[in-house]
C-alpha cells in the first residue's frame, strides 16, 4: 500500500486520499483561450513515466489539497 505524508496530518494510507492527477499551471490569460484550448488544458496530460507533481486531496482527514511528487514507475513518494 502506498503511504502518503499529509503536510497537515502526517503519514497516512493511500485510501484516505483522492488523486486529482498531474499538477499543471493555470493559463496566463484564461480569457484568451477558446474551447479547444481549454479542453486541452483540462484533460490532456503528459502521462510521464517517471517523477511528476500531482494534486492530492485528503478526503478522509483534514480535507485539504496539497502537492505530491511521485515516481509513476514504482509509486514511490518523494515529497
Cα separation, 77 vs 79, whole angstroms:
6
For the full predicted model, state whether its pTM sits above 0.85: no
CATH of the domain at 69: 3.30.2270.10
Question: Is the confidence at residue 13, as pLDDT, over 90?
Answer: yes
Cα separation, 75 vs 40, whole angstroms:
26
Q: How many domains does one find in the chain?
A: 1
- 22-52: per-residue pLDDT in tens? 888 888 888 888 999 888 888 888 788 999 9
Cell of 32: 484568451
In a domain, 70, yes or no: yes
The residue segments making up the domain with residue 60 are: 1-24+48-79
Amino acid at each position: 500500500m502506498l503511504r502518503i505524508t499529509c503536510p497537515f496530518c502526517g503519514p497516512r494510507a493511500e485510501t484516505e486520499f483522492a488523486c486529482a492527477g498531474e499538477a499543471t499551471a493555470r493559463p496566463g490569460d484564461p480569457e484568451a483561450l477558446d474551447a479547444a484550448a481549454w479542453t486541452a488544458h483540462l484533460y490532456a496530460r503528459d502521462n510521464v513515466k517517471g517523477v511528476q507533481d500531482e494534486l492530492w486531496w485528503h478526503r478522509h482527514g483534514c480535507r485539504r489539497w496539497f502537492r505530491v511528487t511521485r515516481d509513476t514507475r514504482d509509486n514511490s513518494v518523494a515529497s
